[in-house]
Amino acid sequence: MSNTKTPSLISRVLKNAKNTALRWYYDRDLHFRNTENDERFFFSLKSEKKPTGFSAMIRSKNEESKIERCIQSIYNTFDEIVYIDNGSTDSTLQLVKDLKSRIDATDKIKIFEYPFQIARCGAEHAQTDVNSVRSLAYYYNWCLSKASRNFVVKWDADMYLLPSGAEAFRSFMMGLQGSEVLASIPIRTVYIDPQGQAYASDGEVNKELRIFPNRPYVRFHKAESYEILLPRFPIRRIEYRNIDVYEIKDTRENEFGHWTDTNFPTPRKQREWENYNRVFCGEIEKDFTKVSLD
C-alpha cells in the first residue's frame, strides 16, 4: 500500500518545492520603463505586504452613461475603488469626481488619469511595443500599480453588480483571504436596444479571470490581439458560481470602437457583435429575455 502512495507523495513534494522556488523568484519588485522614456509613467509592481482587502480596478474612457451605475453598484462591496480615466472627452471623469464628492466620505474612490491613446485591440495592438505607453499591457499594469489592497478585481466600467448578489459576492471574496488563488466571475451580457430597453442574451455568460493576488508574479501580458492576465507559475483557480454581474452593451453607443476592426479573433467577441446588431435591429423574438437594471 505504501509503495503505491510513495510516488504520488514524492511528486507532490517536488511540485510544491518547485512552486515555492518559482514564487520566490517571481515575487520580486518589477520596474517598468516605457519606450517613450516618459518618466511620469515609469512605475513598479511591489512585492511588499499590502493591507488586507479588495481593490476594484476600473479603466474607463467615455462611459458617461454607465460609470455612475457601475461604481455605485460596488461601492459598499470593495475596500478601494481605483478609477483610471483614459482621456475621456465626455462627462465621464467629471461624473466620477461628482460622485466621489457626494458619497465618498471615507476616500474609498481613488481617481487617476492616463492621457495616452491606447492601441486598439487586434492588429493595432499587435503592432505596438509591449513597453509603449500605448500598449494595453503597459497601461493595465500601470493601473495595477495604483491598487493598494492585497487582492485586486479587474472591474470594467460597463459592469454592474446586482444588489441581490452584493452580499454573496463580498462573502466569496472574503473567503479568498489567506489563500493564493485566482478566481473567475461569470458575467451575463445585457444589451440595451435603441429605445433604452434592456435584454439579456439567453445563455451568454462569459467567465474570465478577474480576482487575483496583488503581487508582482500576477500581471498583465501582451497576447496577440489584447492583454491577458497571467501568473508566472501555477496557481489554484476557482470560480464564483452565482451570476450576479451584468455587462452592459448599449446599441446607442459604439461598443466596439476599441477594436481595430470587426474581424474578431474569438467566438465570444463574434457572438457579442452578432447579438449587438440583432438587438439594434430589433431581432429579439428568441434568445433574449427582457430584464430590469433598477
pLDDT at residue 28 tops 60: yes
pLDDT at 285: 86
- Let me know if residue 192 belongs to a domain: yes
Specify if 256 maps to a domain.
yes
CB 76 within 8 A of CB 166: yes
Residue 8: which pLDDT band, with cuts at 50, 70 and 90? confident
Report the distance separating Cα 218 and Cα 234, nearest Å.
10
pLDDT at 27: 79
Q: Kindly state whether residue 239 falls inside one of the protein's structural domains.
A: yes
Is the pLDDT score of 131 beyond 70? yes
Dihedral (Cα; 107, 101, 136, 62), 10-degree rounding: 170
| Sign, Cα dihedral of 201, 202, 206, 210 | positive
Q: How confident is the model at residue 293 (pLDDT cuts 50, 70, 90)?
A: confident
Residue 146 lies in a domain: yes
- Does residue 169 sit within a domain? yes
Q: Looking at residue 24, what is its pLDDT?
A: 62
pLDDT above 90: residue 21: no
Please give the pLDDT value at position 2.
45
CA distances from 128 to 31, 118, 191, 242 (A): 20, 9, 31, 37
Return the beta strands (E) in 5-122 as ranges.
Answer: 30-32, 43-45, 54-60, 80-85, 109-113
Q: Are 207 and 184 spatial neighbours (Cβ–Cβ below 8 Å)?
A: yes
Q: What is the CATH number of the domain that holds 211?
A: 3.90.550
Q: What is the C-alpha separation between 147 and 251, in angstroms, rounded?
A: 32
Residues belonging to the chain: 294
Instruction: For residue 208, tell me if it sits in a domain.
Output: yes
In the chain, pLDDT over 90 holds for what percent of residues? 86
Domain range spanning residue 64?
51-291
- Give the pLDDT band (50/70/90) at residue 121: very high
- pLDDT, average across residues 84-113: 98
Q: Taken in order 30, 216, 82, 80, is the CA torsion positive or negative?
A: negative
Q: Output the CA angle 106-186-260, nearest 5 degrees.
A: 90
CB atoms within 10 A of CB 257: 9
Q: CB neighbours of 189 closer than 8 A, spacing ≥ 6?
A: 200, 201, 204, 205, 206, 246, 247, 249, 272, 275
Q: Is 67 a member of any domain?
A: yes
Average pLDDT over residues 32-52: 97
Band (pLDDT 50/70/90 cuts) for residue 1 is very low
- Say how many CA atoms lie within 13 Å of 116 toward its Cβ: 18
* Residue 197, CA atoms < 13 Å, CB-side half-sphere: 10
- Residue of 129, 107, 106, 103 lying closest to 116 (CA atoms): 129
Residue 161's pLDDT band (cuts 50, 70, 90): very high
The answer to whether position 129 is within a domain reads yes
* Domains: count for the chain: 1
The pLDDT value recorded for residue 192 is 97
